Structure 1
Amino acid sequence: MQVSIENVGSLGRKLTIRLPAQRLEDTIRTRILEMGRSARLKGFRPGKVPTKVIEQRYGSQIRNEALSEMIGSSFQEAVTQEKLRPAVQPSIATTGRPENGEIEYTATFEVLPEIGKLDIGALEIVKPVASVTDADIDQMIETLRLQRRSWNQVERAAQDGDMVLFEYSAQGEGFRHPESGTDRVGAILGSGAYSKELEDKLAGHKAGEEFSAHIDFPAAVRTPALSGKSADVNVKIVRVQEAQLPAVDGAFAASFGVKEGGLERFREDVRANLERELKGVLMGRLKAAALEKLVDSHPELEVPQGMIENEARMLARQAGAQTQDAVAQFLPTARRRVSAGLLIAELARQNNIRLDTSRVKETLATIASTYEEPEQVVELYTRDPQLMSALQNRVIEDQVVEWMADHAKCSEQSLSFNEVMRPGA
C-alpha cells in the first residue's frame, strides 16, 4: 500500500492511496467461490452453481462490496500509519478500476486539531450547592395532593382555587370569537393559566350568573384567536367547583406505590426523588458554567467545519427544522458545543481521566428508576450501542467537569431547592 498526504487548509487532509489490484481480485474470486458453494438457484443443485452464473448474477454486487470493504480497512490502516485523527467520515473518490496493476482512491477529510497543554488553574467557576429540606418535602407532597385532587360542585360564589366552567363570546376591533354562539372554557381561579384578568372577573359569581367585562388577553392565552387582543367579553357561569384534597395518610402513600412503611417511607421516597432531581440539575448548571469558561478561554481553537455542520444539523432536527437557513442559525451554538467536546476530551486525555464504569451503571439505574419498568430501560440501553455511547459520553463529561471544579478557582454559591429547580420563579 502506497500513501501520499496533501494538506488542504489547516485541518483538511487528502490521502491518495494505491493498492495492488490483485488484492481486490483475490477477494472477489474467493467470495464468488464461497457463494457458489452456498447459493440456491433454480435449476442448479445446492453447492453446484457454476462460477460463471454467480459472476453474471452477483458479480457487480460482490465487487462493490469488496471494494468498499478494502477501502475502509486500508483507510484505517493508512491513518494509523500516518498518525492522523480524522474528525469526520472521509469523502472517498475512486473509479474502482485497476490501472497499471493498482487501484487508486482519494480520501478527503478533516483531522482533529492539535491542542496544547490545557491549564485550567486560572478559570473562575461558580459551583451551585443546595440540599433538600423538610419544607421542600412538604411542598412536594402538597403538589402531589393537588395532582390527586377531586372537584365538587358548589352553589356559592366562585373564589380563588375553584374550577369555574363558563361560556363566553368576545368581540373586539374587526373580530368576534367565536364567529357565532359561545365558547366553553374551564379555568382554575388564581392560576393565571387562561387569563388572570378574566379569572379575577369570574371571582364572586355563582352558577347561572352573567356579566360583561372588557378584557386585555395575554399573548399566551390558550385561545389563539384572542392572543394579545382586547375585547368586550360576555360571560355566563355554568358551574363552580371547589377542590377536595386527599388526606395525607397511608392510603395516599399507597396510591404512589408505597405499600409498606406508611408515611415515613413515603417521605423517604419523596426525599430520594427530590435529591436525585436536584443532583442532576446542580450538575447541569455546574457543567454549563464550567464549559462556558473553558470555551471562552480558548477562542483561538480551530474546530473542524464538518463537525460544526453535523452538530448544527442535529440541533436543527431536534428543533423540528431542517432547512439550510435553520441549520445556519445553529452554527454558532454548534461551534461552541463542538469546541467544548474537543476540550473536554483533551482534558480527559491529558489528565488520565478514564470512564468510571460503575458510575455508568449508577447513572443508568437512576435513569431507569424514573420509569414504571426499569428493567426494560436497562435492557434497551444495553442493546443499543448508540444510547450506551451517549450515556458514557455524559458520564465522562461529568467526571471531567468535577475534576475541573477541583482544580480551577472554584467558589460555592449556596441556593435553596426552589432557587435551583425553579430559577426566576
Structure 2
Amino acid sequence: MQVSIETTSGLERRLTVGVPAAEVDSEVQKRLQQAAKNIRINGFRKGKVPMKVVKQRYGDGVRQEVLGDVINRSFYEAVRKEDVKPAGQPSIEPKQFEEGKDLEYVATFEVYPSVELGDFSKIEVTRYKADVTAEDVDNMIDVLREHQASWKEVDRAAQDGDQVNIDFVGTRDGEAFEGGSAEGQNLVLGSGSMIPGFEDGLVGLKAGDEKTLELTFPEDYQAEELRGAAVEFKVTVNSVSEKELPELDKDFYAKFGVEKGGKPQFRKEVKANMARELKNAIKAKTKNQVMDALLETHKPDLPKALVSSEIETLRQQMMQRFGGQQQNFDVKSLLPDTMFQEDAERRVALGLVVGEIVKENQIKVDADRVREMVEELASTYEEPEAVVNYYYENRQLLSSVESAALEDQVVDFILDKAKVTDESSSYDDIVTRQKQQ
C-alpha cells in the first residue's frame, strides 16, 4: 500500500492511498466463490453455477462491496502509519477504481489539534461555602406551601396577590386588535402577566365591577405592530379570590412522600434535599469558573467536523426535550446551526483541553468517585439499590457517569494548582445565582 499525506490548510489533511489491484481482485474472487456455493440459477444445481455466470450476475455488486471495505480498512491503516488522528469522517474522492488496475483514492479530513497546556497556577477561583439554616428551611417550606395553595372566592375588593376572573376587550383607535380580548381569564394581581398598568388598574374592584383602562404597550413588546401603541381595555370583574395556604399536617407531608415522623421528619427531608441542591450548586459554580479560566488561557483550533457533530447533538437534545421528533417540519430551519454554534464551540474546545490534561497527567477514572455519584443519583428513588444495579448493568449510562467523574477529577486537579479563595455565602444567594446563570 502506497501512502502520501499533505497539509492543505490548518487542520485539514489530504491523504492519497494506493492499494495493489491484486489485493482487491483476490478479495472479489474469494467472495464470489463463497457466494457461488449458495446461488440458485435456473438450469444449474445449487453450488454448480459456473464462475463466469456468477461473475456476470454478481461481480459488480461484490466488487463495490469489496472496494468499500478495502477503502475503510486501508484508510485507517494509512492514518496509523502516518501517525495522525482524524477528527470526524473523511471525504473520499476516487481516483482509480477500474478492475485490474491499482485502486487509488484521496481522503480529505481534519485532524485533532495539538494543545499546549498553560500555567494553572495563574488561574483564580472563588470557592463558596454555605450551610442550610433553619431560616432557609422555613423559607423553603413557605415556597412549597405556595405551590400547593388553593383559591377561595371572597366578597370584597381585590388586593395585590388576589386572583381575579375577568372578561376584557382591548381596542386600538376604537378597533379590536388580535389577542386583545378574553373571557373568563384568571389573573393574579401583581404577577406581571399583563402589560404595565393593567393589573394595578384592577386593584380595588369587586365582582361585577367594570372599568376601562387606558394603557400603552411597551416599546419592546413581542408583537411589533403593538409596540408603543395607545390602547383601551374594557374589563369586567367576574370574581375575586384570595390565596389559601395548606396547613402543615399529615396530608401536606404525604404529598412530598413523608408518611411517618410528622413535622420533624418533613423538615429533615426538606433540609436534606436543600443540602444536596446547595452542594451541587457550589460544585457547578466552582466548575464553571475553572472551565471559563481554561477557555481564557487555551485557544485550540477547532475541527469543523467536531463542531458540526456537537451542533447536531445539541439540536437533537432540544428536539427530545420538546418532543419534536414526532413533528413534520424542517428541523434545521426551525433550529438553525447558529442557534447552537457558540455552545458547540465551547464544548468542543473544553473537550480538547480537558482531554489533553487527562492525557498529559495520566488521570484515571476513580471507581470510588463513580460509585459515590451513582449512589447519589439513586438516593432520590424509592429503591436506590435497584437503580445502582441498573447503572452498573448499563454500559452507556455508566460511561456517562464515568465521564462526569473524570471531568470532576480534572477540576480538582486544577484547583490544587490554582489560586483559590474561600468565601462565605448563603443558601439563597448561591442557589438563586446558579439558577439564573
TM-score, structure 2 as length reference: 0.80
- Which residue of structure 1 lines up, in the alignment, with residue 65 of structure 2? 65
Amino acid at match of 2:353: L
Question: How far apart in 2 are the matches of 1:415 and 1:407?
Answer: 24
RMSD: 4.0
Partner secondary structure for residue 240 of structure 2:
strand
Distance 2:360 2:132 in 1: 36
Shift of 1:108: 1.5
Given that 1:194 and 1:221 are in contact with CA atoms closer than 8 Å, whether structure 2 keeps it comes out as: no
Q: 1:238 offset after TM fit, Å?
A: 0.6
- The offset of 1:118, in angstroms, is 3.6
In the TM superposition, what is the alpha-carbon distance from 1:346 to its structure 2 partner?
A: 0.7
Q: Which residue of 1 aligns with 2:411?
A: 401
Distance 1:165 1:95 in 2: 75
Question: Which residue number corresponds to residue 189 of structure 2?
Answer: 189
Q: Provide the residue aligned with 1:76 in structure 2.
A: 76
**Is the 1:3–1:16 contact (alpha carbons within 8 Å) kept by the matching residues of 2?**
yes
Q: Give the alignment of 1:106-121 within 5 angstroms.
A: 106-121=106-121
Q: Give the SS at the match of 1:268.
A: helix
The one-character-per-residue Cα deviations of 1:173-227 (angstroms, maximum 9, x if unpaired) are: 4752468975442111222233453222222221111122223445798999867
Q: Quick one: distance in 2 between partners of 1:245 and 1:274?
A: 22
User: Residue 371 of structure 1: CA displacement?
Assistant: 7.5
Could you say which residue in structure 2 is the equivalent of 1:254?
A: 254
After TM superposition, the structure 1 = structure 2 runs for residues 224-243 of structure 1, keeping only pairs within 5 Å, are: 229-243=229-243
Post-superposition shift, 1:145? 1.6
Aligned length: 422
The residue type paired with residue 412 of structure 1 is D
Q: Structure 1 pair 328/250, CA: closer, same or farther in 2 (3 Å)?
A: closer
Structure 2 counterpart of 1:304:
303
Report the Cα offset of residue 267 of structure 1: 2.7
Which deviates further from its counterpart, 43-52 or 130-139?
A: 43-52
The answer to whether the 8 Å contact 1:148/1:245 transfers is yes
Tell me how far 1:277 sits from its aligned partner: 3.0
- Correspondences of 1:100-139 after superposition (within 5 Å): 101-139=101-139
SS of equivalent residue, structure 2 residue 168: strand
CA deviations on 1:293-341 (whole Å, 9 max, x unpaired) are: 2222234x33333334444565567678735995357655544432222
Identity fraction in percent: 35
Higher mean C-alpha deviation, range 74-83 or range 230-239: 74-83
Q: Secondary structure in 2 aligned to 1:88?
A: strand
Contact 1:118 1:347 in 2 (8 A): no
Q: CA deviation at 1:87?
A: 1.9
Q: Hey, what's the Cα distance between the residues in 1 that align with 2:363 and 2:162?
A: 56
Task: Give the AA of the match of 2:305.
Answer: G
Counterparts of 1:13-412 in structure 2, within 5 Å, are 13-35=13-35, 48=47, 50=49, 59-95=59-95, 97-98=97-98, 101-173=101-173, 175-177=175-177, 183-195=183-195, 197-217=197-217, 229-299=229-299, 301-312=300-311, 322=332, 326-327=336-337, 331=341, 334-364=344-374, 366=376, 385=396, 391-412=401-422
Decide whether aligned partners of structure 1 residues 136 and 225 sit closer, same or farther in structure 2, where only a CA change above 3 A counts. Answer: farther
Conservation of the 8 A alpha-carbon contact between 2:96 and 2:102: no
C-alpha contact (below 8 Å) 2:3/2:15 kept by paired residues: yes
In structure 2, what is the Cα distance between the partners aligned to 1:388 and 1:201?
56
Determine the structure 2 residue equivalent to 1:421.
431
- Residue identity matched to 1:198: F
8 Å CA contact 1:95, 1:105 repeated in 2: yes
- Asked whether the equivalents of residues 41 and 49 of structure 2 are also in contact (C-alpha less than 8 Å), the reply is no
- The answer on whether the counterparts of 1:127 and 1:405 sit within 8 Å (CA) in structure 2 is no
Alpha-carbon offset, residue 343 of structure 1: 1.0
Q: 2-side partners of 1:32 and 1:416: how far apart?
A: 74
Q: CA deviation at 1:370?
A: 6.2
The 2-side partners of 1:98 and 1:88 are apart by 28
- Once the two structures are TM-superposed, the CA of residue 165 in structure 1 deviates from its matched residue by 0.5
Distance 1:282 1:357 in 2: 23
Equivalent position amino acid for 1:262 in 2? G
Structure 2 CA distance for partners of 1:229 and 1:286, relative to 1, 3 Å: farther
- For residues 404 and 45 of structure 2, the distance between their equivalents in structure 1, rounded to whole angstroms, comes to 51
- Greater alpha carbon shift after TM alignment, 356-365 vs 255-264: 356-365
Query: In structure 1, what residue type is equivalent to 2:430?
Result: V
Contact 1:169–1:178 (Cα < 8 Å) also in 2: no
Q: Which moved more, 1:352-361 or 1:133-142?
A: 352-361
Counterpart code for 1:305: K
| CA contact 2:19–2:104 (8 Å) conserved in 1 | yes
Structure 1: 5+ residue stretches without partners: none
C-alpha distance in structure 1 between counterparts of 2:266 and 2:43, whole Å: 72
TM-score (norm 1): 0.82
Change (3 A) 1:188 1:329: closer
- Equivalent residue letter for 1:293: A
Counterpart amino acid of residue 69 in structure 2: E
Matching residue's letter, 2:408: D
Deviation at 1:384, TM superposition (A): 7.8
Q: What CA distance in whole angstroms lies between the structure 2 residues aligned with 1:9 and 1:258? A: 63
CA distance in 1, matches of 2:420, 2:43: 76
Q: In the alignment, residue 302 of structure 2 is paired with which amino acid?
A: V
Q: Match of 2:68, as an amino acid?
A: S
Change (3 A) 1:51 1:95: farther
Which moved further from structure 2: 361-370 or 188-197?
A: 361-370
Give the C-alpha shift of residue 151 in structure 1: 1.8
Question: Comparing 249-258 with 28-37, which one deviates more in the overlay?
Answer: 28-37
Letter in 2 for 1:131: D
Aligned counterparts of 2:345 and 2:87: Cα–Cα separation in 1: 14
Asked whether the equivalents of residues 365 and 378 of structure 1 are also in contact (C-alpha less than 8 Å), the reply is no
Residue 26 of structure 1: CA displacement? 3.6
